[in-house]
Amino acid sequence: MTESKINITVQLDKGKVPQQITWSASGSTAESPQKAKAMFIAFWDAIDKSAMRIDLWTKDMMVDEMADFYFQVFTTMADTFQRATKHDTLTNDIKTFAKDFHKKFIEIEKERNK
């Protein structure tokens, strides 16, 4: 059996707010740790039937970047759900939600910035 490791390093300020997030993975083509402004990791606990998650973002993550990040996460979740279940209708519902979410975010931001 092959093993792969993912390493995540989070540098915190004095208030324990993430300043920098870096990650690396064994088997990756990247030669050095990669920087990220945000991360979202979820694990499924089959015994408790619940999701355990870690979601962090750095101080310099802009609101528009967060909206783009969530749009892409929703879309990726839809693709993963499709591959795992073959439920086209539900997959399309998730993707429609993602598009509506992003569109509404843009509209809200336009109003806010008037």
Q: How confident is the model at residue 27 (pLDDT cuts 50, 70, 90)?
A: confident
The conformation of residue 33, written as its DSSP 8-state character, comes to: P
**pTM: predicted TM-score of the whole model, two decimal places:** 0.88
Tokens of 40: 């979202």
Summarised one tens digit per residue, pLDDT across range 52-98 is 999 999 999 999 999 999 999 999 999 999 999 999 999 999 999 99
Distance between CA atoms of residues 110 and 102, nearest Å = 12
Predicted confidence at residue 30, as pLDDT, reads 87
- Average pLDDT value over all residues in the chain: 96
The conformation of residue 70, written as its DSSP 8-state character, comes to: H
- % residues pLDDT > 90 (the chain): 92
Distance between CA atoms of residues 100 and 25, nearest Å = 34
Are the beta carbons of 63 and 71 closer than 8 angstroms?
A: no
Predicted confidence at residue 15, as pLDDT, reads 95
Q: Please state at what angle helix 63-85 crosses helix 88-112, rounded to 10 degrees.
A: 170
